[in-house]
Copies of this chain bind each other. A is one copy, B any other.
Amino acid sequence: MESLNVALGARTYSILIGAGLLGSKRLLSGYFQSVHRVAIVSNVTVAPLYLPTLRTLMERLGITVSAETILPDGEIYKNWETLNMIFDALLVGRCERSTTLIALGGGVVGDMTGFAAACYQRGIPFIQIPTTLLAQVDSSVGGKTAINHPLGKNMIGAFYQPHLVLADTDVLKTLPDRELRAGLAEVIKYALIRDMAFLDWLETHLDALLNKDSAALEYAIYRSCQHKAEIVANDEQEHGERALLNLGHTFGHAIETGLGYGAWLHGEAVAAGILMAAELSADQGWLSRGDIARIEQLFVRIGLPVRGPAMPVDRYLELMWRDKKVQGGKMRLVLLKRLGEALIVDTATPTAISNAICARS
């Protein structure tokens, strides 16, 4: 097992990564000492697979489960109506301010459960048990919680940190291939924005990752979480450096919103978005065609999209303008100065942005 801390003063918390974590009372009991009552949130896909394991773990730790909510599965349900299912269960189960909410599932379950924890009685503790690669390397760490609004993704939410993150690599064995591949887009993102050595490692170990080799997965998750933890500790509320984690995301969100939530997986949209950002970076004279080809080749090996869907460019732009990264009427985009180094730019011209979209859609 690997462990990491997200250093946030009194709100510092641990990320535990390893095979078989959820079955190990011994490894976990120290982390659950102050937990007496929990409410669990999962979804229809994950619950049949891992809810019994989690229930058993709670029983062995002497923890009461006061409520369980099984959400429908999918990004299209990441809305207020579904969130309200959690509130209903918490209220019917008489959950209190001291009840800990546990998210057992992928990014959607984690985002909604975290937001529910932030809002229920103005804030209760919560624990993330991410069951997708994407959630393990990205969304479960760092306290960004949210639901979608018909006019924009993740528009309604809170910065609210979990008390603990448990990433059991064993659960990835049942993860559909398409989701594993989508999750790798976010792993590659860390390499592209700040870690060339990791990019080299990923190119070398990609087959092992695609074959769900435990050691390779553990390392990739650990390294990704290390980057995320460092960035979040420096800039929790995204006033600066944290925005670098959004490489490809402004383009990606436009794809997700434009196609309707759930048509493309988040990681798929981000992959296409990263290549759009790379094209724009090349236009600024920073990346070479060879650099772009290197990213593209990785995505091709993984089976990720290397172009966005054929929406009109104006539609892309309209959706991008609604993004949270717009500031002072300027669109702020994460670009690559070189492979392994990202920066935030608000000077890209509309024409240059359009050209980058056209080149990749």
Residues of A participating in the B interface, judged by any CB pair closer than 8 Å: 80, 84, 87-88, 91-92, 94, 96-98, 118-123, 144, 146, 149, 151-152, 155-159, 237, 321-322, 324, 326-328
Contact = CB atoms under 8 A, between A and B. Distances in A.
A122 B94 contact: no
A80 B91 contact: no
Contact of A87 (B155, B159, B322, B324): B155
A294 B324 CA distance: 55
B156 A144 contact: no
B122 A91 contact: no
A327 B121 CA distance: 12
A82 to B, nearest CB: 12
B158 A119 contact: yes
Contact of A327 (B97, B155, B327, B328): B97
18 contacts: A80-B80, A87-B156, A91-B152, A91-B155, A91-B322, A94-B321, A96-B327, A97-B324, A98-B328, A118-B158, A122-B146, A122-B157, A122-B159, A122-B237, A122-B324, A123-B158, A123-B159, A158-B158
A301 to B, nearest CB: 35
List of 9 A-B pairs having minimum Cβ-Cβ separation, nearest first: A91-B151, A121-B324, A119-B156, A122-B157, A122-B159, A80-B80, A96-B326, A122-B158, A96-B327
Copies of the chain in the assembly = 2
Contacts of A155: 87, 91, 120-121
A339 to B, nearest CB: 30
A91 B148 CA distance: 12
A324 B124 CA distance: 11
Given A80-B84, A96-B326, A96-B327, A91 B158 contact: no
A149 B91 contact: yes
Contacts of A91: 149, 151-152, 155, 322
A157 B119 contact: yes
Contacts of A88: 151
A87 B152 CA distance: 10
Nearest to A157: B122
A151 B92 contact: yes
Contacts of A87: 149, 155-156
Given A87-B149, A96-B327, A96-B328, 9 more contacts: A91-B149, A91-B151, A91-B152, A91-B155, A94-B326, A97-B324, A119-B119, A121-B157, A122-B144
A122 B149 CA distance: 13
A120 B88 CA distance: 23
A92 B152 CA distance: 10
Nearest to A146: B122
A199 B177 CA distance: 70
A190 B87 CA distance: 32
A92 B322 CA distance: 9
A144 B123 CA distance: 11
Contacts of A321: 94
A322 B94 contact: yes
A322 to B, nearest CB: 7
Contacts of A324: 96-97, 121-122
A115 B346 CA distance: 30
Nearest to A149: B87
Contacts of A96: 324, 326-328
